[in-house]
A and B are shown apart, each in its own frame.
Chain A
Amino acid sequence: MFEKALQGNKSYWIWIFVLLAITGAGFLAYLRQFTYGLGITGMSRDVSWGFYIGQFTFLVGIAASGVMLVLPYYLHNYKKFGRLVILGEFLAISAVIMCILFIFVDLGQPRRVMNVMLYPTPNSVMFWDMVVLLGYLILNVIIGWTVLGAERKGTPPQGWVKPLIYLSIAWAPSIHTVTAFLYAGLPGRHFWLSAIMAARFLASAFASGPALLIILALIIRRVTRFDPGREAIQTLGKIVTYFMLTNVFFLGLEFFTAFYSGIPGHMHTFQYLYAGIDGHDKLVPLMRISSVLAVLAVALLIFPKIRANEKMLALASVAVFISLWIDKGFGLVVGGFIPNMFEKVVEYWPTGLEMLISLGVWAIGLLVLTALYKIAISVKEEVEL
């Protein structure tokens, strides 16, 4: 089936070469980081994780959200998702690949990355994160490829795939739960030390992932002859609505606990992120944009009539995606380090090279996604037309 990715019209190849060019630029920036060290980033002794780990965290959510299509389709026999489900699985593959790359570019000693497997350490959450992410990647590759292959031949998928699909449904929440545990079990990081962290992660994942899928489905309908189906997109809209509301609710719970208890350590990061501390307010504009977009998205999504308008749904989806990308891909990780362990405020902002490397990783993810979607859609067009 792979040959389908190598056949395309002019605009397909322009898109591919644009992504390759960005990847190349990101790679050159990475070579600079490789020789100089992570000092080329904005990270410091005090904010020792930054944009890379933020992107990783956000993308684990995108990967996990594939289950929002797989579960209704396979467990509830929701046929409307039949045309979309492969897009969810392939999005998961691309997202996990980006996750792994973001971890890789964040390592100080990338050549030693195999040490995680050579010296397996079950008491480290990072070890388990590697296990669940690799497992999820393998599951989705096997399932996606087999099911699509069967569809192409016009036969039902092989019987042995079914148990793997059920396993992948249980597996999806695990990847984001374990990722939340990277943060939620650290003494002294009050902002992260919250029992609701994993739940919050899942809620934001199941809002941002399907929001991205809506955007992708609308793009696909425009640039190909394949239509994922209006009703399927509307159902995704409902999923985004409920989980976005849940996510906002969970964030509200965090605010309540911090500010009603009045415990300084619990309030500090929220103050820093949303108002600034002693004039240190680099992240405040971003966090305010995130909040405004969240309110806008909820206002658009909550009324079925507005949501039914696909243009409005698209706008709301973009708002959800950007809002949660800022919240989780930036504020959550960086905020955990501010104030630092000495209750001093040391700020962080990514550098140009850091952004370029990140763009490169995103470009690789989009390349993988484009190729996989091209294959999936070509097969579907071939079968249907």
Chain B
Amino acid sequence: MSMDRRQFLKIAGLTTIAGVGGPAVVAGMKERLLEASELVDVPGRSGALTAQRWGMVVDMSRFRTEADRQKVIDACHHIHNVPDFGNPKDEIKWIWPETYEHAFPGREDEYMPHALKEMPFLVLCNHCANPPCVRVCPTKATFKRKDGIVMMDMHRCIGCRFCMAACPFGARSFNWRDPRGKDAQGRPFIRKDNPEYPTRTIGVVEKCTFCTERLAKGLQPACAEASNGGLVFGDLEDENSNIRNKLRNHFTIRRKTELGTSPSVYYVIGGTEHV
């Protein structure tokens, strides 16, 4: 039987679709050769959570204690292998607390309640509808997905840090040193390795991804899951969604809306009883 190039390619393609090529992909995933962005965003994968525009409401009334906040931060940072270098200069963080005056600079009022002024708001990437980081990236290593998530391709990033200069929310961190390394005492920077998520390499930028890898499996973002209802995650374009319900019934604010980036993260400050 003779087979020309065209036929060969057809058969090769069909066998891949039929799953013969599958084991290689699975092996690649096991060895964590694939980047996060390649593992997700598979259209039509059964059980995946989808939306037109993902967004989040941070309900501050549910974050009364440091433990409430830390639980959420730990969930995110552990699952995503976020390293801890133990110094602010090299610091990498995806979600963390900032007091009102730092999270919302220019919005503090002179005689506002002290408790509010000092209240630590959880901040993270805003997944802006009009993201300046995406606009400036010279390699499309950071890009906006159809569902509104601003995503990173850690394999394409050249580490120029233009996105860090452009982000008005300080949401981006850079791997100033090897996150897979160890400190002087031999303690690894990634305290407890999560083998299901890629670690990063030296010299690339990273940030919150709204847990695209979990959405693909039908799971809520890790922070939302750990938040006990404090973080409401959902589709901003779906008027019947939980998040829209929350936005309908509460007064919310967003960070630096005057810059026109249109953040997708909203904040409920809470009624007076919470302040």
Contact = CB atoms under 8 A, between A and B. Distances in A.
Interface of A: 36-39, 43-46, 48-49, 103, 106-110, 112-113, 115-116, 118-119, 121, 123-127, 130, 182-183, 186-189, 264-265, 336-337, 340-344, 346
B106 A264 contact: yes
Contact of B261 (A44, A49, A110, A187): A187
A130 B138 contact: yes
17 contacts: A38-B203, A45-B170, A107-B203, A108-B160, A108-B205, A109-B204, A110-B158, A110-B203, A115-B139, A121-B140, A186-B136, A187-B261, A188-B167, A188-B256, A340-B170, A344-B102, A346-B88
B158 A116 contact: yes
A37 B175 contact: yes
B140 A119 contact: yes
A343 B203 contact: no
B177 A109 contact: no
B188 interface: no
Given A36-B177, A126-B160, A187-B259, A341 B170 contact: yes
Nearest to B179: A37
B164 A48 contact: yes
Given A108-B157, A265-B106, A38 B176 contact: yes
Q: Which 3 A-B pairs have the closest CB atoms?
A: A108-B159, A108-B203, A188-B168
A107 B170 contact: no
B29 interface: no
Contact of A124 (B88, B137, B205, B259): B137
Contacts of B90: 39, 44-45
Given A48-B165, A186-B166, A342-B170, A37 B203 contact: yes
A124 B160 CA distance: 12
A63 to B, nearest CB: 20
Given A38-B176, A342-B103, A116 B139 contact: yes
B100 to A, nearest CB: 11
B127 to A, nearest CB: 16
Given A108-B174, A108-B175, A49 B161 contact: yes
A189 B165 contact: yes
B160 A107 contact: yes
Interface string B37-74: 00000000000000000000000000000000000000
A107 B178 CA distance: 15
Interface in B86-106: 88-92, 98, 101-103, 105-106
Contacts of A44: 88-91, 176
B91 to A, nearest CB: 5
B202 A127 contact: no
A265 B260 CA distance: 17
Given A106-B161, A108-B174, A112-B158, 10 more contacts: A49-B165, A106-B160, A108-B157, A110-B203, A124-B138, A126-B162, A186-B166, A187-B168, A188-B167, A341-B170
B156 interface: yes
Interface in B174-213: 174-178, 201-205
A119 B139 contact: yes
Contacts of B270: none
Contact of B138 (A37, A45, A48, A116): A116
A127 B176 contact: no
A86 B199 CA distance: 52
Interface string B118-159: 000000000000001001111111000000000000001111
A112 B176 contact: no
- Name the residue among B139, B175, B260 with the largest chain A CB count within 10 angstroms: B139
A341 B132 contact: no
Contacts of B136: 124-126, 186
B252 interface: no
Given A108-B204, A343-B105, A37 B89 contact: no
A109 B106 contact: no
B242 interface: no
Contacts of A337: 165
B38 to A, nearest CB: 16
Contacts of B173: 45
B198 to A, nearest CB: 15
Contact of A115 (B92, B156, B164, B205): B156
Given A107-B159, A124-B136, A39 B176 contact: yes
Given A43-B176, A187-B260, A119 B156 contact: yes
A103 to B, nearest CB: 8
A189 B162 CA distance: 12
Contacts of B102: 342-344
B273 to A, nearest CB: 28
A376 B267 CA distance: 65
Contacts of A45: 88-92, 164, 170, 173-174
A126 B105 contact: no
Given A107-B159, A108-B161, A115 B101 contact: no
Contacts of B175: 37, 108
Contacts of A112: 139, 156-159
A186 B158 contact: no
Nearest to A125: B136
B259 A188 contact: yes
A108 B201 CA distance: 10
Given A45-B89, A115-B141, A123 B202 contact: no
Contacts of B170: 45-46, 340-342
A118 B103 CA distance: 38
A56 to B, nearest CB: 11
Contacts of A123: 135
A44 B164 CA distance: 11
B112 to A, nearest CB: 16
A100 B135 CA distance: 22
